[in-house]
Amino acid sequence: MALVPDNTLITDTPEQGRELAIMLARKTIAAIQTDGEVRQMLRPGYATNADSLTMAGHVVAVEFSTVAAANNYWRT
């Protein structure tokens, strides 16, 4: 499993960076819990839990921060 697609964090735009951050967060969860059936079973529990959703958003924010830094915050 490639945890960093194309082995780079460089993107053309912040929007692509955000999409990459979401993908990285999802791949991280899949790498930690490798059983897809277990992930599907757990999904209803966290999909309706505000704290779980907030924590998931935080993971994406951390990934986006990393991508943004790798892209020099898209300075021109």
Tell me: the pLDDT tens digits for 28-39? 999 999 999 999
Helices (H) and strands (E) in the chain, counts: 3, 0
pLDDT at 71: 94
Q: In the chain, where are the structural domains located?
A: 13-71
Mean pLDDT of 66-70: 95
Residue 23 has pLDDT above 70, yes or no: yes
The model's pTM: 0.84
Residue 22 has pLDDT above 70, yes or no: yes
Residue 75 has pLDDT above 70, yes or no: no
What average pLDDT does the chain have? Answer: 92
Distance CA 36, CA 16 (A): 26
